[in-house]
Structures are given as C-alpha cells and as structure tokens.
Amino acid sequence: MKIIFVARMLLAVAMLTAAPRMLAAQSAGETIKSVMPRMVKIFGAGGIRQLHAYGTGTLVSAEGHIITVWSHVLDTDEVTVVLANGRRLEAKVLGAEPQLDLAVIKLQEDDLDLPFFDLANATSASPGTRILGFSNMFKVATGDEPVSVLHGVISARTRLTARRGAYQVPYDGDVYVVDAITNNPGAGGGIITSVDGKLLGMIGKELRNAESNTWINYAVPIPEIRKVVGEIISGQYVREEKSDEEDNPERYNPFDFGLVMIPDVLYRTPAYITSVVPNTAADEAGIQPDDLIVFANDELIQSNRMLKRELGRLEGGDTLRIIVKRGATLVTLEFPVQKKPGS
C-alpha cells in the first residue's frame, strides 16, 4: 500500500514538474497557429547572380498594409504578395524610410478584411526572453506553405554596429540580438514574437558586425518603427534628408579605382563610365568605357550620386563587386579595395 502511495506521489510530482513545459509547448503551438495568417511572402525585383528576388512581410492592417525591409526586392513598379492561404495579390510601395531599413507596401485590392498585427499592441522584451522567429527564409514558401519558424532567445538589446557587405548599414538604433539564425536570404521583414504571441520586432537584413566581422542575427524593436509606419499609412510622413557630409564618410570615390564617370549634370544621371584609367584596379578588373554600373555590392545603383555615396562608405580591405550592363549583357566584376595611406 505504501509502495502504491509513494508511486502516486512521485507521479503527481512528475506531472507538476512537466506542467510548465507542457503549457509552454501548447502556448507556442497556439502562437504559431495565430501568427501564420498574418505573414506574407513577397516576390519582386532581383534574380541576378546572388540577388534573391523574394522577401517576407507582416500584415499590420485589415486593409492590406504590410511592413517589410527596404531592399532591392521592392525596386519594381509592383510586387507580388502571396498570402498564407496561397492567394496571390499585387502590391505597391506606399512609402519607405531607408534610414530605418523600413518599407510599407499596400495590397492593391479592397475589402480584404485580413488578420493583422496591431502595432499599438507591440511590446518590449528583455534579454533572456524566449522568442519565435517567423520568415520566408530561403524561399521555403511560394504558395500556401507555412513560413519558417525558429525558436530562440533574446541575447541582448543594444545599438547596431554592423555592415551590409562592404557598407555601413543606415540604421543605427537599438536592436534585439537573438540567439537563433533568423537573418537569412529572404528573412528580412519577418518578425519575432514572444512565445505567447506578443509582437516584439521586425527581422532585418543579413549583416556582419563591423568590429568583429561576424554575422549577426537581429530584429528591430517595433517601437523604433511604429510612429513612422503610422505616418506612412496615413500619408503624413515626410523624410528628413541627411546632408551628403552627414551621410557619407567619403573614404573613396570612383576615380580612386580608375573610373571616369559621365558628368553629373542631372540629379539622377545614370552611372555610365566614360573612360578607365590605365593600370588601375578598374582597368585590371576588366571594366570598359560605356559600361553602366547597375549594382555595387548587391546595392542597386540608380545614379552617379548613389555610386559616389556607396563608394564613400567602403573601407580598405573590402572587396568591391559591381555588376555592369555591357550592351545587353550583365557582367560581374570584383577587385580589392586598397587601403589609403594613413588610414
């Protein structure tokens, strides 16, 4: 009799000990089921060499407003959005704030009545908080398939000091650094939530830490972008343009690589090369006169000014990879960035 009593006591203790884990697992499952209909897959520009043509978005209104990262994927007149149920809809960029790596797009159809996250209900979290990360990394979903879900922990909340390829990223605010491999191709624009479903942050781009040269996984806290998202949706947002001096360290310019560009007579003068200085990095890489620079380290180059700004952010020891349009062909060329004396 005593043996049976002791056995029952041990079983009761085991069940009580396991209860939090069972509840947590159930809570996570319910969160996943609730979040999935609010996630969308975005397909747009890209597909050239290493540039992915897909991304992730999160519905933030019943009318079809979506937040995502500002990237080359959106550099097209219209993007295609695939809802959780597989329905494909066209969307347009409503507004963007590159300094926040943020864009808001709007589905081009009325009376949608979609499930969404109310950004006013987003909350903050501290290090040690368990999270779930939702995104269409590596294009795992193209129709009604669910997006990826990762389990992780917030490791820290800190200022972002990172780079996109060779460039310093424009965003320099607070981020959640997470212990989960969330930042992969196509994941930007996804979200992290608490295990019980509270919206915490938007997953950013793939980035390397500028100091340690290691890849980091992070999300931008929703409170950092909430005000701008609301103003873009309401049509009241006005960007505060930074001066060239404030935004560009001007470490390098096209001539440092042997490039002589077409005169910059218009605000968006195309980045055509008029000549190449012999025995320079550009000459050795095979760049030719009349080449049009369309990408520099995966960043879309729409004008001479954009090229100068992006080259100005390079550092000695980086690798500059450019894609030029030569006739009807796209050609990829790479060459190292030499350190300047005294740098």
At 275 the pLDDT is: 92
pLDDT tens-digit readout, 201-244: 999 988 877 666 778 899 999 999 999 999 999 999 887 655 44
DSSP class of residue 272? Answer: B
At 78 the pLDDT is: 83
- Please tell me the distance from the alpha carbon of residue 212 to that of residue 228, in angstroms, as a whole number: 31
Question: Does the pLDDT value for residue 41 go beyond 80?
Answer: yes
Cα 51 to the chain's mean position, in Å? Answer: 13
pLDDT tens-digit readout, 51-64: 688 999 999 999 99
**Residue 31 maps to a domain:** no
- Which has the closest alpha carbon to 171: 180, 179, 160? 160
CATH value at residue 274? 2.30.42.10
Average pLDDT over residues 321-328: 87
239's tokens: 């960007």
Question: Does the pLDDT value for residue 102 go beyond 70?
Answer: yes
Question: Does the pLDDT value for residue 96 go beyond 80?
Answer: yes
Q: Are residues 253 and 164 in the same domain?
A: no
At 210 the pLDDT is: 63
Q: Which of 234, 255, 276 is the last residue of a domain?
A: 234
Residue given tokens 């879900």 in the structure block: 149
Question: Does the pLDDT value for residue 144 go beyond 70?
Answer: yes
Q: Specify the range with the lowest mean pLDDT, choosing from 186-195, 282-291, 331-340.
A: 331-340
Q: Contact at 8 Å (CB) between 117 and 61?
A: no
pLDDT bucket at 165, cuts 50 / 70 / 90: low
Q: Are residues 296 and 195 in the same domain?
A: no
Question: Does the pLDDT value for residue 83 go beyond 90?
Answer: yes
- Please tell me the distance from the alpha carbon of residue 66 to that of residue 79, in angstroms, as a whole number: 12
Query: What is the tally of structural domains in the chain?
Result: 2
pLDDT bucket at 25, cuts 50 / 70 / 90: very low
Range of the domain at 77: 37-234
Residue given tokens 């620079």 in the structure block: 293
At 268 the pLDDT is: 67
What is the rounded average pLDDT for all residues in the chain? 84
The dihedral formed by the CA atoms of 250, 211, 317 and 305, expressed in degrees to the nearest 10: -30
At 50 the pLDDT is: 56
- Please tell me the distance from the alpha carbon of residue 193 to that of residue 196, in angstroms, as a whole number: 8
At 188 the pLDDT is: 94
**Residue 239 maps to a domain:** no
Question: Does the pLDDT value for residue 152 go beyond 60?
Answer: yes
Question: Does the pLDDT value for residue 298 go beyond 90?
Answer: no
| Dihedral sign of CA atoms 53, 99, 167, 256 in order | positive
Q: Are residues 187 and 260 in the same domain?
A: no
pLDDT tens-digit readout, 247-279: 555 678 898 999 998 876 555 678 889 899 999
pLDDT bucket at 18, cuts 50 / 70 / 90: very low
pLDDT bucket at 135, cuts 50 / 70 / 90: very high
CA angle (303 as vertex; 299, 306 as ends), nearest 5:
50
At 2 the pLDDT is: 47
Q: Are residues 192 and 56 in the same domain?
A: yes
At 301 the pLDDT is: 86
Q: Which of 191, 208, 234 is the last residue of a domain?
A: 234
Q: How many CB atoms lie within 10 A of CB 18?
A: 10
60's tokens: 């933030």
Q: Are residues 121 and 91 in the same domain?
A: yes
Q: Are residues 57 and 205 in the same domain?
A: yes
Is 256 in a helix, a strand, or coil? Answer: helix
Q: Are residues 75 and 137 in the same domain?
A: yes
133's tokens: 């990360």
